Amino acid sequence: MKTAIVIGAGIVGLATARALSIRGYQVTIIERNERAVGASIRNFGMVWPIGQATGPMFERAMLSRSIWKEICTEAKIWHDEVGSLHLAYHDDELQVMSEYVNINSQHRNCSLLTAEQALQKSPAINTNGLKGALWSGEEMIIESRVAIGQVASYLAEKFGVIFHWNTAISRIEHPKVSSGNQNWEADEIFVCSGADFETLYPELFASAEITKCKLQMMRLVTQPDEWRIGPSLCGGLSMIHYPGFQAASSLPALRKRYEEQYATHLNWGIHVMVSQNGSGELTIGDSHEYGLVHDPFDKEFINNMIIEYLHTFASFKSWKMLQSWHGIYPKMTNGATELITEAAPGVTIINGLGGNGMTLSLGLCEQYIASRV
């Protein structure tokens, strides 16, 4: 039996372990913390195909979605196939949405809704000035901070994946990895530890076209009376954030207006979305700051800007804050969607998915491992 070691128990490491396990590998995952606590749990929990451009990336997102669905069903992990609504309050926003639907309706489950139709989908929409909405039925929500640990347990139970927690790998010399005086060996080694690969391969990290993104997010309390918002909701700023909308010919004109009206938002990489977990809590965000080093302190004015913009398209039963946090993930600066590279014979780094880890990791690792095994 072939053996593999995967370093990192976040979503990329779990996705790699799954793809190897179903092909007969005995997999060992080594994680420096007692559980995954990085970017994999500090997000909306959105599996978000609508953000990907039609073609290979959208197909990868849909493959990820199908694998998520399979795992969640087998492991009884909470998930909600609620879809999404992008809400339009200006004619130029509605124009972009109309073009998106015209281009993509043959390839995706999407449609342009009137204001009345949108309100039938969600009771959480701000009705003031609403002109219409883009509906997509393909988005799915999981509670990532719980689901990541549940996926690890599923892999251990179904495939016999071995986990070593609280174990920081400090050296790799194929076929051996070391943590202090402890050593493990395997036929293949995969480094899926986010920006931590900077520690193991500093020269490789320094030469890669990669940076780090800090995002700020918040969570509101469980909504009263089991009230649900239905689909995840997005404002217009999300359309200029995701590549899925770049096919719309009027997007540059919309971007130009946003650059004038929301210059400070764009300076901090703010676009605003909300999802709801199984407990009724609302996850909202986010912002994007880029650089190799980030201060550890959250900026209150960024959170305030997110909340203020959210009020323009959403109306909740309770706006009481439960918690706020930030996450940091590696992101390619050369336009690539990921970094997959051989650090040494038998050692592969899988990294740099940016903010698309929940949406793309399972599909990416399935495609990559299938292509080489």
Tell me the domains of the chain and their CATH numbers: 1-81+142-208+336-372 (3.50.50.60), 119-128+210-333 (3.30.9.10)
What is the structure's pLDDT at 320? 98
Query: What phi, psi does 269 have (nearest 5°)?
Result: 65, 35
CB-CB contact of 326 with 27 (8 Å): no
Sign of torsion, CA 267 269 274 278?
negative
What is the structure's pLDDT at 312? 98
Cα 284 versus chain centre, distance? 13
CB-CB contact of 236 with 89 (8 Å): yes
pLDDT band at residue 195 under the 50/70/90 scheme = confident
Cα separation of 244 and 62, whole Å? 13
pTM above the 0.75 mark? yes
pLDDT in tens, 34-90: 999 999 999 999 999 999 999 999 999 999 999 999 999 999 999 999 999 999 999
SS3 of residue 314 by DSSP? strand
What is the structure's pLDDT at 216? 98
Over the chain, what is the mean pLDDT?
96
**Average pLDDT of the segment spanning 147-166:** 98
**Average pLDDT of the segment spanning 157-171:** 97
**Average pLDDT of the segment spanning 268-296:** 97
What is the structure's pLDDT at 209? 95
Cα separation of 246 and 244, whole Å? 6
**Average pLDDT of the segment spanning 219-244:** 97
Determine which helix (DSSP H) or strand (DSSP E) holds 97, and give its type and residue range: helix 91-104
pLDDT band at residue 360 under the 50/70/90 scheme = very high
**Average pLDDT of the segment spanning 298-309:** 98
**Average pLDDT of the segment spanning 193-212:** 90
Determine which helix (DSSP H) or strand (DSSP E) holds 205, and give its type and residue range: helix 202-207
Q: Which two tokens stand for residue 81?
A: 């196939």
Q: Which two tokens stand for residue 13?
A: 């490491």
- Given a cut of 90, whether residue 373 has pLDDT beyond it is no
pLDDT band at residue 194 under the 50/70/90 scheme = confident
What is the structure's pLDDT at 198? 87
**Average pLDDT of the segment spanning 191-219:** 92
pLDDT in tens, 349-359: 999 999 999 99
Identity of residue 16: T
pLDDT in tens, 121-131: 999 999 999 99
Q: Which of 286, 287, 255 is nearest to 268 (CA)?
A: 287
Cα angle, residue 42 at apex, residues 121 and 165 outer, rounded to 5°: 135
Q: Which segments within 74-161 are labelled E, that is strand?
A: 79-80, 84-88, 110-114, 132-136, 140-142
Q: In this prediction, what percent of the chain has a pLDDT beyond 90?
A: 97
Q: In this prediction, what percent of the chain has a pLDDT beyond 70?
A: 100
What is the structure's pLDDT at 28? 98
pLDDT band at residue 197 under the 50/70/90 scheme = confident
- Given a cut of 90, whether residue 196 has pLDDT beyond it is no
